[in-house]
Amino acid sequence: MKKLINSPEGVVADALAGIAAAHPGLKIDYANRVIYRGDSPVAGKVGLISGGGSGHEPLHGGFVGLGMLDAACAGEVFTSPTPDQMLAATKAVDGGAGVLHIVKNYTGDVMNFEMAAELAAAETGVAVKSIVVNDDVAVQDSLYTAGRRGVGLTVLLEKIVGAAAEQGRDLDSVADLAAKVNSLGRSMGMALTSCIVPAAGKPTFDLPDDQMEIGIGIHGEPGRHRVPLAPAKEIAAQLVEPILGDLDFTGAPAIVMLNGMGGSPLIELYVMYGEVKAILDKAGVPVARTLVGNYITSLEMAGCSVTVLKADDELLGLWDAPVSTPALRWGV
């Protein structure tokens, strides 16, 4: 295992220290492993919290800041944070307007966020709503999930819902918007290689040199099928066609993310995006906004995922609104 770490057991704490050092505008609660925007809680604003296992950076800590999340809870690598972490974050970000939990659909995350919401209600009376993101069209259930997994759409949802909260919308409105975004986005991913969880010290799975895994999740959990390596154009088709088959994306402006899984160089992600865009053009899906890069990763896994969100003027306006986080920043 070749990694830039001090020890497998110290990775998450050391990364939090690095995030604190790099981004003095954020506040870190090391005991609870929560990253906060510096001015949290913001009075009168709905607080937005997400979190999950570490190893998907910049998700979620890299999306904390003005116009996006108020707090992100960091679990161990590929392990859900605890209800205690989520409860601490919920209390801390409440500015009097309630808190929305943004939860990727993985069994542990869902269970722990539910418990945190119950504890928050019982202990403090903070109003909490939740959105469970489930955009992955690859598999219906998986090793870690009942129903579809929550993957790349989480990034777009955090941006759009974050902008709405920043505008001062109330909790019901923000939660409704989150449900709307979730209903309109779809994702699909693939891997060329496995990743290595530091504590495990060896690849999560073996993938022969001439094969790739289509429909993989963000923890190296199995996907739809293993197929022979193929050119970028064919990979793009294998990712985009299931997405377009699941929802009619024609006739509305799309926000598209071509996401790297962590180990694929940007030159390859651009090659992939060119092929994805060509397919969308041919299918009559007008692309209005694009993100290409590593936004929700699986450690050093080589591969990529595609997310398409069927937007409208409201969603585009919220997308374009100012944001200032470590990983997404514009207008500020």
Nearer to its own copies, 179 or 278 (CB): 278
23 is catalytic: no
Helical (H) or strand (E) element with 175: helix 171-184
Which entry of 60, 101, 219, 225 is annotated as an active-site residue? 219
Nearer to its own copies, 11 or 87 (CB): 11
Q: What are phi and psi of 23, to 5 degrees?
A: -130, 80
Residue 184 CB, shortest distance to its own copies, in Å, is 21
Nearer to its own copies, 77 or 93 (CB): 77
What DSSP line would sit under 285-317, residue for residue? --EEEEEEE-SS--TTB-EEEEEEEE--HHHHH
Which entry of 23, 56, 60, 101 is annotated as an active-site residue? 56
Nearer to its own copies, 18 or 44 (CB): 18
Helical (H) or strand (E) element with 80: none
Residue 222 CB, shortest distance to its own copies, in Å, is 18
101 is catalytic: no
Residue 140 CB, shortest distance to its own copies, in Å, is 26
Nearer to its own copies, 193 or 307 (CB): 193
Alpha-carbon distance 177 to 182, whole Å? 9
Residue 281 CB, shortest distance to its own copies, in Å, is 9
Q: In what order do the strands lie in the sheet with 34-37?
A: 26-29, 34-37, 71-77, 47-54, 99-104, 128-133
What DSSP line would sit under 132-165, residue for residue? EE--B-S-SSBTTBSSSPP-THHHHHHHHHHHHH
**Length of the chain, please?**
332
Cα 110 to Cα 74, 86, 253: the distances in Å are: 15, 11, 31
Q: Which amino acid is at 28?
A: I
The site for its own copies (CB under 8 A) is made up of 2-7, 11-12, 14-23, 54-55, 57-58, 62, 77, 192-193, 195, 209, 212, 229, 231-233, 235, 258, 262-275, 277-278, 287, 290, 292, 294, 297, 299-300, 302-304, 324, 326, 329-332
Cα 301 to Cα 141, 247, 304: the distances in Å are: 22, 28, 9
Residue 220 CB, shortest distance to its own copies, in Å, is 13
Would you please indicate which residues are annotated as catalytic (active-site) residues? 56, 219
